């Protein structure tokens, strides 16, 4: 099955901890994206990567970090500097000019 997987589905974090969200795709897409969604709101772009070993900040990158060491993988770290990290996190990938495919999401809750 081709697609995007995210893990874990639910994640609980204590204040002051860094956590890493996993995103893997087997669609052979060059571009990958991370979004954050808060209740009743649209998706806001955190980071994106058009090619391996390169990535750019999106609209709300503060308190987050990413890496893109492999084409298939684009993990997101939520650092302790992120003031309000509780949200639904979505990973996506696409080929140039094509539709965007989303993963199932990770719901992060800060305790």
CA distance 86 to 54: 27
Shortest Å distance, C-beta 80 to other proteins: 27
Please report whether residue 1 would count as binding other proteins according to CB under 8 A. Answer: no
C-alpha 92 chain-centroid distance: 8
Q: Which of residues 29-48 bind other proteins (CB under 8 A)?
A: 30-31, 33, 35, 40-45, 48
Please report whether residue 94 would count as binding other proteins according to CB under 8 A. Answer: yes
Residue numbers of the site for other proteins (CB under 8 A)? Answer: 4, 30-31, 33, 35, 40-45, 48, 50, 88, 90, 92, 94, 96-105, 107
């Amino acid at each position: 099955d081709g697609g995007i997987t995210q893990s874990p589905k639910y994640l609980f974090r204590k204040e002051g901890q860094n956590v890493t969200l996993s995103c893997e795709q087997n669609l052979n897409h060059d571009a990958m994206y991370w979004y954050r969604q808060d209740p009743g709101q649209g998706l806001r772009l955190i980071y994106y990567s058009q090619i391996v070993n390169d990535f750019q900040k999106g609209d709300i990158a503060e308190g987050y970090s990413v890496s893109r060491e492999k084409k298939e993988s684009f993990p997101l770290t939520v650092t302790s500097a992120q003031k309000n990290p509780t949200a639904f996190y979505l990973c996506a990938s696409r080929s140039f000019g094509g539709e965007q495919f989303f993963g199932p999401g990770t719901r992060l809750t800060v305790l």
